């Protein structure tokens, strides 16, 4: 069976060839699919910081071992190195340094270099099959060849590392034309660290800007880089399972990217609604008017005070947004809130940070589907900011005031924990769920000191 599990069924889709349908009721947090990458590459910024095979950071007190052949690949240990050697590196090692120093490679843009190396890994892997470049029927590699190609008719193919036996140029083209609209950004704690090819996930999951599932990544010394697709809300039997190809917060730019890079028009409820608004009203430029917009947004979403948020976050349908708030759908509005929140949290301007952070939370609740992992990460940041604000505030002279700050922090933490537990652990070992535990323990210690 194509999916390898009994949770999904593949049926025709009117526009996207196939769609994956759930075969049973799935609870939020259910694992829908676990699938290994057939090729993956670290971003240049992560090179030599992480293992090239499993993408993990070195354990505390250890360092990565470097390939003595090319000097450009790093591994946790002999196991990771041996696996990578047999997966593709033995076909690349000898030529890698010369290739990456060549003018053809050096003249590429950063993202093209990533594609060039990922394509080289994939071709090297194919060259090592029992019959080179001839994958077995229904293997992940053959699924890859049958995926929908890029909508761009004459994609320019990046140069690839010389491999012997050499692939036919046609095969290189067929593979590369599957990259743009099928490959995935691999992340750890929601931060991109590499790119990978996961043909089964590409075959199964279409896109929605209000997805019912999301991809997370597992980095394992024994299994390398894997993708896990999890339900982010309860999914009834028979519903299509969709993941986001782009951040749903890209309210304006996503339409063009879908058209140009993926070759489709997204008709999810969010896109239909945002398109129906036409040209958005201008964002105010005066700080007082912007503050007013934020206040109105918080009121509309139902967030006035952190303490009133518990035990669950409010939900608000995008379609019920009054026209006086349509300007909040400018991407620039979310970027500016995020930037102010991060800067003021970092610089210790906690009043502004918390005020902006709550407005940003209201915007996230409006734009993202319930339990979207980015909402959980933001709640954790709000908890840290609230806790830091409590530590330095000169007004917290009384136990009562300190207790209120702790209570607010606790509310953010419990909401963050609820959402991030649904998404589950991702990437590197010590992540947001561990941070939540540490902060909760600190709050318990503070209570003990105060009483």
Ligand X SMILES: C[S@@+](CC[C@H](N)C(=O)[O-])C[C@H]1O[C@@H](n2cnc3c(N)ncnc32)[C@H](O)[C@@H]1O
Q: Closest distance between ligand X and the C-beta of residue 146, in Å?
A: 7
Question: Which is nearest to 351 in space by CA: 312, 395, 297, 302?
Answer: 395
Site string for ligand X, 18-37 (x = CB under 6 A): x-------------------
Q: Under a CB-based contact definition with an 8 Å cutoff, are residues 50 and 240 in contact?
A: no
Report the 10 Å Cβ neighbour count for 87: 18
As a whole number of angstroms, the distance between CA 426 and CA 250 comes to 23
Question: Which is nearest to 396 in space by CA: 414, 378, 412, 408?
Answer: 408
Q: Under a CB-based contact definition with an 8 Å cutoff, are residues 218 and 59 in contact?
A: no
Token pair for residue 175? Answer: 């593979």
Q: Under a CB-based contact definition with an 8 Å cutoff, are residues 192 and 186 in contact?
A: yes
Residue 183 makes contact with ligand X by CB under 6 A: no
Residue 16 makes contact with ligand X by CB under 6 A: yes
Q: Closest distance between ligand X and the C-beta of residue 12, in Å?
A: 9
Among 4, 11, 15, 45, binds ligand X (CB under 6 A): 15
Q: Which of residues 241-280 bind ligand X (CB under 6 A)?
A: 262-264, 266
Q: Under a CB-based contact definition with an 8 Å cutoff, are residues 287 and 259 in contact?
A: no
DSSP bridge pairs for 227:
35, 217
Size of the site for ligand X (CB under 6 A): 17
Q: Closest distance between ligand X and the C-beta of residue 21, in Å?
A: 12
Q: Closest distance between ligand X and the C-beta of residue 239, in Å?
A: 14
As a whole number of angstroms, the distance between CA 42 and CA 205 comes to 23
As a whole number of angstroms, the distance between CA 329 and CA 318 comes to 10
Return the number of the residue (244 or 294) whose C-beta is nearest ligand X. 244
Q: Closest distance between ligand X and the C-beta of residue 207, in Å?
A: 4
Q: Closest distance between ligand X and the C-beta of residue 150, in Å?
A: 8
Question: Which is nearest to 265 in space by CA: 211, 315, 206?
Answer: 206
Residue 203 makes contact with ligand X by CB under 6 A: yes
Q: Closest distance between ligand X and the C-beta of residue 305, in Å?
A: 38
| Torsion-angle region of 427 (φ positive above 0: left; ψ -120 to 50: alpha; else: beta) | left
As a whole number of angstroms, the distance between CA 377 and CA 423 comes to 11
Return the number of the residue (211 or 432) whose C-beta is nearest ligand X. 211
DSSP bridge pairs for 20:
10
Q: Closest distance between ligand X and the C-beta of residue 17, in Å?
A: 4
Q: Closest distance between ligand X and the C-beta of residue 209, in Å?
A: 9
As a whole number of angstroms, the distance between CA 87 and CA 68 comes to 17
Q: Which stretch binds ligand X (CB under 6 A): 61-69, 96-104, 198-206, 228-236?
A: 198-206
Q: Closest distance between ligand X and the C-beta of residue 148, in Å?
A: 5
Return the number of the residue (1 or 110) whose C-beta is nearest ligand X. 1
**Exposure on the CB side of residue 15, measured as CA atoms within 13 A:** 9
Q: Which stretch binds ligand X (CB under 6 A): 13-21, 133-141, 406-414, 421-429?
A: 13-21
Taking the alpha carbons at both ends of the chain, their separation in whole angstroms is: 61
Return the number of the residue (144 or 415) whose C-beta is nearest ligand X. 144
Q: Which of residues 130-149 bind ligand X (CB under 6 A)?
A: 147-148
Question: Which is nearest to 216 in space by CA: 25, 35, 367, 416?
Answer: 35
| Torsion-angle region of 55 (φ positive above 0: left; ψ -120 to 50: alpha; else: beta) | left
Return the number of the residue (264 or 418) whose C-beta is nearest ligand X. 264
Among 30, 206, 218, 340, binds ligand X (CB under 6 A): 206
Return the number of the residue (203 or 406) whose C-beta is nearest ligand X. 203
Return the number of the residue (67 or 147) whose C-beta is nearest ligand X. 147
Token pair for residue 412? Answer: 């953010």
Residue 182 makes contact with ligand X by CB under 6 A: yes
Strands 74-75 and 65-66: antiparallel
Q: Which residues contact 341 (CB under 8 A, 6 or more apart)?
A: 353, 356, 357, 360, 381, 385
Q: Under a CB-based contact definition with an 8 Å cutoff, are residues 421 and 433 in contact?
A: yes
Among 11, 17, 104, 332, binds ligand X (CB under 6 A): 17
Residue 181 makes contact with ligand X by CB under 6 A: yes
Q: Closest distance between ligand X and the C-beta of residue 402, in Å?
A: 50
Q: Which stretch binds ligand X (CB under 6 A): 15-23, 293-301, 320-328, 401-409?
A: 15-23
Q: Which of residues 369-408 bind ligand X (CB under 6 A)?
A: none
As a whole number of angstroms, the distance between CA 112 and CA 353 comes to 37
Site string for ligand X, 33-72 (x = CB under 6 A): ----------------------------------------
Q: Which stretch binds ligand X (CB under 6 A): 10-18, 37-45, 129-137, 377-385?
A: 10-18
- Binding residues for ligand X (CB under 6 A): 13, 15-18, 147-148, 181-182, 202-203, 206-207, 262-264, 266
């Amino acid at each position: 069976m194509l999916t390898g599990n009994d949770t999904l069924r593949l049926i025709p889709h009117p526009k996207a060839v196939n769609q994956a349908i759930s075969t049973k009721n799935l609870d939020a947090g259910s694992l829908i699919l676990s699938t290994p990458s057939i090729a993956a590459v670290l971003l240049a910024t992560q090179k030599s910081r992480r293992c090239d095979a499993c993408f993990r950071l070195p354990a505390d007190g250890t360092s990565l071992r470097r390939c003595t052949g090319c000097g450009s690949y790093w591994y946790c240990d002999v196991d990771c190195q041996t696996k990578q050697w047999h997966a593709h590196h033995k076909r690349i090692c000898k030529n890698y340094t010369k290739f990456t120093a060549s003018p053809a490679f050096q003249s590429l843009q950063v993202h093209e270099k990533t594609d060039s190396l990922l394509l080289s890994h994939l071709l090297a892997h194919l060259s090592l099959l029992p019959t080179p470049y001839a994958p077995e029927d229904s293997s992940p590699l053959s699924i890859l060849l049958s995926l929908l190609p890029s909508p761009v008719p004459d994609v320019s193919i990046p140069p690839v590392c010389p491999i012997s036996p050499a692939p036919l140029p046609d095969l290189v083209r067929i593979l590369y034309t599957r990259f743009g609209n099928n490959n995935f950004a691999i992340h750890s704690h929601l931060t991109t660290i590499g790119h990978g090819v996961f043909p089964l996930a590409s075959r199964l999951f279409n896109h929605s800007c209000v997805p019912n599932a999301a991809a997370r990544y597992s980095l394992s010394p024994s299994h390398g880089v894997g993708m896990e697709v999890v339900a982010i809300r309860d999914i009834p039997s028979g519903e299509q399972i969709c993941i986001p190809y782009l951040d749903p917060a890209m309210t304006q730019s996503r339409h063009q990217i879908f058209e140009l890079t993926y070759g489709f028009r997204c008709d999810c409820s969010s896109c239909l609604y945002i398109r129906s608004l036409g040209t958005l009203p201008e964002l105010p430029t005066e700080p007082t008017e912007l503050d007013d917009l934020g206040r109105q947004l918080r009121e509309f979403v139902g967030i006035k005070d952190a303490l009133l948020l518990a035990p669950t976050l409010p939900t608000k349908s995008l379609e019920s947004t009054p026209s006086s708030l349509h300007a909040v759908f400018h991407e620039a509005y979310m970027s500016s809130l995020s930037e102010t929140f991060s800067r003021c949290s970092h610089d210790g301007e906690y009043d502004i940070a918390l005020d902006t952070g709550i407005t940003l939370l209201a915007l996230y609740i409006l734009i993202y589907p319930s339990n979207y992992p980015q909402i959980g990460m933001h709640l954790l940041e709000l908890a840290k900011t609230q806790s830091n604000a409590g530590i330095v505030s000169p007004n917290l002279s009384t136990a009562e005031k300190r207790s209120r700050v702790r209570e607010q922090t606790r509310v953010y933490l419990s909401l963050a924990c609820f959402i991030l537990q649904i998404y589950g652990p991702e990437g590197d070992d010590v992540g947001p769920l561990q941070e939540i535990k540490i902060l909760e323990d600190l709050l318990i210690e503070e209570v003990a000191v105060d009483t």
